[in-house]
Structure 1
Amino acid sequence: MSRRAARVLVPVGVLLVAAAVTLAVLQPWSSVAEAPDDSKKPVTAEAELTTLTSDLRINGSLSYGASIALPGRGGTITRLPAAGDLIGVGQAIYEVDGKPVIAMRGDRPFWRDLGIGVENGPDVRQLEQALADLGFGKDMTIDDEFTAVTEANVKAWQKALGVTKDGVVKLGDVVAITAASVRVESVKAQLGDSAGASPLTYTSTALRVVAKLTDGQAREILPGTAVTVVLPDGTAVPATVTAVDPGGQPTEKEGETTPPTANIEFADPAVAEGIGLRAVKVVFATSEVKDALVVPVTALVATTDGGYAVDVLRKGGKVERVAVEVGLIADTRVQIVGGKLAAGDAVVVAQ
């Protein structure tokens, strides 16, 4: 996480410290009135040198990303896919008047018929690149001009589809998608309906995580931040924040706006396959101390002067109370930054 992010998120670690210290004060084992009971063998844990990390955990959910409505066109719908179908470039998304509507890779919608004599434009370049990607780019220069070579490649592509070979890509014959394949999310039309309205919505085919943020987190978390996603079965997998949406957009409910969110993508999308759209945890590392001398939080004893101590089991079974200073607290462990305590010492822990 960036230094800027750490400045805001580190207070989470501070809250953990406060919570843990409060716990130490309130629990019976931490009472200064109690001395170690030499008649019973105490339960101990070893003080150790390790890397201690304080984490910020945010709720997230698995998602296929934003829902996109397929644009409508003229004609009558004669075939439709099913929700959940995966459709790749070069394949028919649905059918109108008995003719397939083909998915082509592109960042902008096609808005006109494309054929010989059409004015130069970026849509021509997009069509030529899509044809070339599909294997129909013989002798063709990818540019803004629709040439006789472009027409020949369009005809070859039309022949492969089994449609009329007229060398013209009419408006509505193809639809631009921004990925190599898409997933049909929902089908809104029925066979025989007019194709004028959007017939279906689609999403990406890859699962990612969408996590809700606070306004402060949305300002401080940056794209490119490495995180860990904890899946429903407890598996921890690496991921990266790819985008942060500050929210604030109106919703269908009056007076409500969209919350800030972070889009998070897996290093290996296959780790989420077959899980479904489940809830997950997103873990941000906010503070880290290397070579920290660490003991369990339950080893802390509150002292009368407002400080802390630990009980150390020495050789021969004697228990010595040692004053200490605490640093970072993460989960159930605390860093010892001062006092006569060394790695390997056996500290008494509460049961």
Structure 2
Amino acid sequence: MTRRFEPVESAAPARRTRHRVVALAATAVILGLAGAGLVGWMQAVSPSGFGASGEPGSGGSGEPGGASDRPVTRPAERVTLTSGLLLAGTLSYGDPMPLQGAGWGMVTALPVAGEVIGIGGRLYEANGVPIVLFRGARPFWRPLELGVTDGPDVRQLEQNLADLGFTAGLDLDVDDTFTANTAAAVKAWQAALGVERTGSVALGAVIAVDAPSIRVDSLAKTLGEPDGGAVLEYTKTELHGYADLTDAQEREIATGTPVTVTLKDGTEVAGTVAAVEPSVPALDDTAKATPARAVVDLTAPDGQQVVAAVGPSTVRLKLGDQTVDDALVVPVTALVADGDDGYALDVLRDGEVVRIPVEIGLIADARVQITSSGGGGADPLEAGDAVVVAS
């Protein structure tokens, strides 16, 4: 199909409205879309000035538009096209968690905010005695000594003693039974800690956290206060990327999706989506819903070192990166519906608008990749061709 135009350049926008994928441009900026599923949307739109005939420039009766109509065109180009979902996010150590004190008495020493404490490290002191960090998924809920019944807390204690090297030279199996060899390992640990060598572990002497180390985020107690309740708040020791998600984004994003984290200075760090935390609805009218959130692990070998120099800050996250080199692209607003499930472009050639069928690929940055074109007597699209766009 062709329509004759005199080759006139005009600064004024064309007056007609074409049946084009106008709204797709906004979506394509943030989502790398494939072509499937767009035609139904395109055919559902019938703007004023585009008649049922489906021909450009026709009114409801199918008659051609006025002679003063001039097409607005943009050139087809070859570029490197990259898609992805762009999100505003933050670098953070995660949500702080309270660390409950032993309830032994007065706080006599505290760590400082930002300090990293590993397994076997001193969390704080109560009555001059260090309270120590052990790793475990469950709290130590009773004193542990010879004669206690078997239990998973004994296994957890023995595993920590083994990890810290205090079972060396002892015939100790890590199990649920507290034996004389367990007591010997406890004494070796107590000697290194500089406390009385009793061979037993008092309730509250060690506090379990299910992590190899923690970072002190803030202090909840001051020296001289009782150590009951939360003594401090802690976080993970590594920075992660976080971004709030819409309901649609929550459904689309999957764990393992590659991410590019861009810091304030433009430095890019590779990562992956480690988790998608679901949204939490508001409990009542006075509360606010909590949006879904993507959690991003930094996977680059030096990623933590790079971001540690920046610290908690705002970042840009690009998810689902896909790149096509030397892609032939046109503005998404140049697409027109062609039949039930196809696409076409109107191309201005020798003063005539020629409609050519096309197949599309990646869509990003308001541009669409043309993977094949032409047929039915129409020459294929080439870089530099003037394609008609919506005005």
TM-score range, shorter chain: 0.7 to 0.9
| Distance in structure 2 (CA, Å) of the matches to 1:14 and 1:124 | 54
Partner in structure 1 of residue 6 of structure 2: none
TM-score normalised by the chain length of structure 2: 0.69
Q: Does 2:284 match 1:244?
A: no
1:102 partner amino acid: V
1:221 partner amino acid: I
1:276/1:116 Cα in 2 relative to 1: closer, same or farther (>3 Å)? same
1:89 partner amino acid: I
* Alignment match of 1:84 (pick from 110, 114, 124): 114
* Alignment match of 1:122 (pick from 152, 155, 161): 152
1:299–1:311 contact (8 Å) kept in structure 2: no
* Alignment match of 1:33 (pick from 50, 70, 92): 70
The structure whose residues are more often helix, as a share, is: 1
1:298/1:115 Cα in 2 relative to 1: closer, same or farther (>3 Å)? closer
Q: Report the more deviating stretch, 221-230 or 157-166.
A: 221-230
| Distance in structure 2 (CA, Å) of the matches to 1:309 and 1:238 | 40
SS where residue 176 of structure 1 aligns?
strand
Q: Does 2:367 match 1:333?
A: yes
1:132 partner amino acid: A
**What is the root-mean-square deviation in Å for CA atoms of aligned residues?**
3.8
How far does the alpha carbon of each residue in 1:241-293 deviate from its partner, in whole angstroms, 9 at most, with x for none? 2222213166899322322112111103423212122122222238x686884
Partner in structure 2 of residue 47 of structure 1: 78
1:214 partner amino acid: T
Give the superposition deviation at 1:216.
Answer: 3.0
Give the superposition deviation at 1:206.
Answer: 0.2
Partner in structure 2 of residue 297 of structure 1: 331
Give the superposition deviation at 1:299.
Answer: 11
SS where residue 90 of structure 2 aligns?
strand
2:78–2:326 contact (8 Å) kept in structure 1: no
SS where residue 230 of structure 2 aligns?
coil
| Distance in structure 2 (CA, Å) of the matches to 1:226 and 1:159 | 48
Count of matched residue positions in the alignment of Structure 1 and Structure 2: 315
* Alignment match of 1:104 (pick from 122, 125, 134): 134
Partner in structure 2 of residue 195 of structure 1: 227
* Alignment match of 1:254 (pick from 261, 278, 286): 286
2:140–2:207 contact (8 Å) kept in structure 1: yes
| Distance in structure 1 (CA, Å) of the matches to 2:197 and 2:217 | 32
Structure of greater Rg: 2
Q: Report the more deviating stretch, 162-171 or 334-343.
A: 334-343
SS where residue 199 of structure 1 aligns?
strand
Partner in structure 2 of residue 5 of structure 1: none
How far does the alpha carbon of each residue in 1:49-78 deviate from its partner, in whole angstroms, 9 at most, with x for none? x6x453222222111113111112221100
Give the superposition deviation at 1:234.
Answer: 2.7
* Alignment match of 2:162 (pick from 117, 121, 132): 132
1:255/1:35 Cα in 2 relative to 1: closer, same or farther (>3 Å)? closer
1:326–1:334 contact (8 Å) kept in structure 2: no
| Distance in structure 1 (CA, Å) of the matches to 2:332 and 2:246 | 32
User: Can you give the 5+ residue segments of structure 1 that lack an aligned partner in the other structure?
Assistant: 1-8, 23-30, 37-42, 313-317
| Distance in structure 2 (CA, Å) of the matches to 1:291 and 1:258 | 40
Give the superposition deviation at 1:329.
Answer: 3.0
How far does the alpha carbon of each residue in 1:137-174 deviate from its partner, in whole angstroms, 9 at most, with x for none? 13221001110000001001100111000011111111
Q: Report the more deviating stretch, 272-281 or 231-240.
A: 231-240
Q: Does 2:192 match 1:157?
A: no
| Distance in structure 1 (CA, Å) of the matches to 2:121 and 2:89 | 33
Q: Does 2:308 match 1:273?
A: yes
| Distance in structure 2 (CA, Å) of the matches to 1:108 and 1:200 | 19
1:247–1:258 contact (8 Å) kept in structure 2: yes
Q: Report the more deviating stretch, 132-141 or 233-242.
A: 233-242
| Distance in structure 2 (CA, Å) of the matches to 1:111 and 1:160 | 24
TM-score normalised by the chain length of structure 1: 0.76
Q: Does 2:85 match 1:56?
A: yes
1:299–1:348 contact (8 Å) kept in structure 2: no
Q: Does 2:106 match 1:69?
A: no
2:191–2:197 contact (8 Å) kept in structure 1: yes
SS where residue 126 of structure 1 aligns?
helix
1:251–1:258 contact (8 Å) kept in structure 2: no
